[in-house]
Chains A and B, each alone.
Chain A
Amino acid sequence: IAGITQAPTSQILAAGRRMTLRCTQDMRHNAMYWYRQDLGLGLRLIHYSNTAGTTGKGEVPDGYSVSRANTDDFPLTLASAVPSQTSVYFCASSTGRNQPQHFGDGTRLSIL
């Protein structure tokens, strides 16, 4: 079934550790996005990618980095995790501007 796969499903991580959240889509969508979801704040955009080889900063990019080496993969890296990065992270993709975004099932990350 076509869609977005995120891994891991959940993770508990010690502060200061490096962590990469994986996101893979098989729909050949050009655009991909990373959001974090926090209670009462909805979803906030961390980083996005218009197409393979390009990335951009969203609303809350600090402490996160991304890469887009190919169309299908869009990993999100926390170089040195801090407790405030405890959240649920969603990856999404779309065919283009203002087209509906398709979401993965999320990664629940706890930083201790």
Chain B
Amino acid sequence: AQSVTQPDIHITVSEGASLELRCNYSYGATPYLFWYVQSPGQGLQLLLKYFSGDTLVQGIKGFEAEFKRSQSSFNLRKPSVHWSDAAEYFCAVGDAGGTSYGKLTFGQGTILTVHP
């Protein structure tokens, strides 16, 4: 069965600092990978997705993620964090096979706090 691990429950960075959120997945074939962001009281918003091709994926709000098959990782990065980036971030892997027609398995989430 597919699974996703986000090792960091909570990360604190200073505004303007760089950011990397870790995501490791377990999946038998080429995964479909996503990063979502959730602001308090809101639903999830898609930041970026990886299906195939270039392993460095650009997303919205200045985020990018790199797919590394050898490490089973899909880490999210941003070169300079803004106070508005404070939120909870979820990594997810898609189910490419089976009968569940694209259900997502989510990691536990990483809460990002940004200090001024």
Contacts and interface: CB of A to CB of B under 8 A. Distances in A.
Interface in B25-48: 32, 34, 36, 41-46
Contact residue range for chain A?
A: 20 to 34
Contact of A41 (B42, B44, B49, B108): B108
A42 B43 contact: no
B59 to A, nearest CB: 11
A40 interface: yes
B93 to A, nearest CB: 10
A42 B94 contact: no
Nearest to B44: A103
Contacts of B94: 97-98
Interface string A30-57: 0101010000111111001010000010
A59 to B, nearest CB: 8
B114 to A, nearest CB: 21
Contact of B103 (A4, A48, A104): A48
A52 to B, nearest CB: 13
Contact of B9 (A31, A40, A44, A103): A40
Interface of B: 9, 32, 34, 36, 41-46, 49, 51, 90, 94-96, 99-109
Interface-centre pick from B9, B43, B90, B105 (highest chain A CB count, 10 A): B43
A100 B49 contact: yes
Contacts of B43: 4, 90, 103-106
A77 interface: no
B109 A42 contact: yes
A71 to B, nearest CB: 14
Nearest to A102: B46
Q: When A and B form their complex, which 6 residue pairs have the shortest distance between CB atoms, in order from nearest?
A: A103-B43, A97-B102, A98-B32, A98-B94, A42-B106, A50-B101
A101 interface: yes
Given A40-B108, A42-B108, A101-B102, 13 more contacts: A33-B104, A42-B109, A48-B103, A56-B99, A90-B44, A97-B95, A97-B102, A98-B51, A98-B102, A101-B104, A103-B44, A104-B43, A105-B42
